[in-house]
Chain A
């Protein structure tokens, strides 16, 4: 009723008119200049513009370029993916990976060292490498948790702690995500520099992959030769580098919203970021598993930086040979030169 009252004066005026005219104005033929044309009859039509351009763009006087977009129905698509597919992709990837690893653990168990420890340690990762790894790892874990919060927080956490606490937590999550991202991006760059050389494909990779790195050999006899990094590790490395770059680039777009992209670009950046993010989480879960629980002796490599010589021979035989060839063979206990 409110509305009727407000716009009352218009109603009667219209009612008083006989609706004598049907479709009065036929669109005039397109003309060269505006002179002589009938601007009313030529008026742009919303449906037509949307069909032709799928987006309606115009001019505004305020100096905010994005305000010139009148309509972008793509927002609907963004929403559908963000609220429809993404949680499924993320859920399946993360939970699926956990499930697989659990299965693997029960079937294969912890991969143990076949021969007894040699008692001789060999340096596998120097301080710089370990520092980089752990900075990146810490940042990633924080980013993963706070990132997953964006997708799953309202579904899982908010019902438990209520909207106010969840909002406060999410606000801090967001700040954390924004600030730790810089550490992660730095880590990705340094890791790439440190390890890219050792992660180039080589002749051992095909065989390694063929036998699955021996991981599925319950007798634990299969230990295909590998250089400093076996094919599995290389896969992790490249996933991290490629995924990390994707996350970094799309993340930078979002850290500086609309500086490098319009709204559709921002949607794309967010979509890539979220999708790569959840997949990365799954990959890193696997990495964490194999680096800790999944394989005896693996954690030490990143923990103390040194590994037992026999462990190294089983998993990275070619690398060990090279290391030994380079150093004095008679003094295996001497500190080997850092890889590289």
Chain B
């Protein structure tokens, strides 16, 4: 089985935010919830780079480990998903997540964060594939339709890659070799405990 990963090639990312709105569009993510975001480092200075970030679907995911109700699970494609039926909105996964992926709707005053929401790698949730109830809770299930996450598919400069880790790593390595530079596969060391060495 494939081991799904994201890779943002920061030398291509132009902070166009297509990944962000593609995600909103595909899953009808409400205002205030940002499953994906683009962060610009060194803004306005030479060396500035932007990186698109969402759940990296970590190997040995910290969110899953700290969850007090064990609502996370990993699919056979190595996509880290969770059950909103089980989630209690405690917020631990956000503290543990190195990438700031978990999001919470604000449902009340103190403490009452709603069910956590995060990038599903366009793979839905525990419900039956591509059903209305799955869409309502987790958004579309593109993986079930044989498609990849829309954010990467629509990336303006093909900076954001999604798919089997080995294949996207190969694409990235090829790019770095070709152009002679690369600012790193952002988040890979932290998420998958493996660097991409070229």
* Chain A interface residues toward B at CB < 8 A: 2-4, 6-7, 10-11, 14-15, 17, 19, 21-25, 31, 34, 37-47, 49-50, 56-62, 64, 66-76, 78-79, 82-83, 149-151, 153-154, 158, 163-164, 166-167, 170-171, 174-175, 178, 254-257, 263, 266-267, 270
Contacts and interface: CB of A to CB of B under 8 A. Distances in A.
Nearest to A40: B181
B110 A256 contact: yes
Contact of B86 (A23, A73, A74, A164): A164
Main secondary structure, interface of B, reads: loop
Contact of B171 (A10, A23, A71): A10
Given A19-B177, A178-B111, A257-B91, A75 B46 contact: no
Contacts of A70: 39, 41, 51, 53, 99-100, 186
Counting from the closest, the 7 A-B pairs by CB-CB distance are A3-B163, A46-B184, A24-B180, A42-B47, A178-B111, A58-B39, A79-B62
A43 B65 contact: no
B70 A4 contact: no
A17 B178 contact: yes
A151 to B, nearest CB: 7
Contacts of B42: 44, 58
The interface centre, meaning the residue of B70, B96, B147 with most chain A CB atoms within 10 A of its CB, is B96
B65 A151 contact: no
A241 to B, nearest CB: 23
Interface in B116-157: 146-148, 153
Given A7-B171, A39-B48, A46-B183, A75 B41 contact: no
B190 A2 contact: no
A60 B39 contact: yes
A174 B40 CA distance: 36
B69 A158 contact: yes
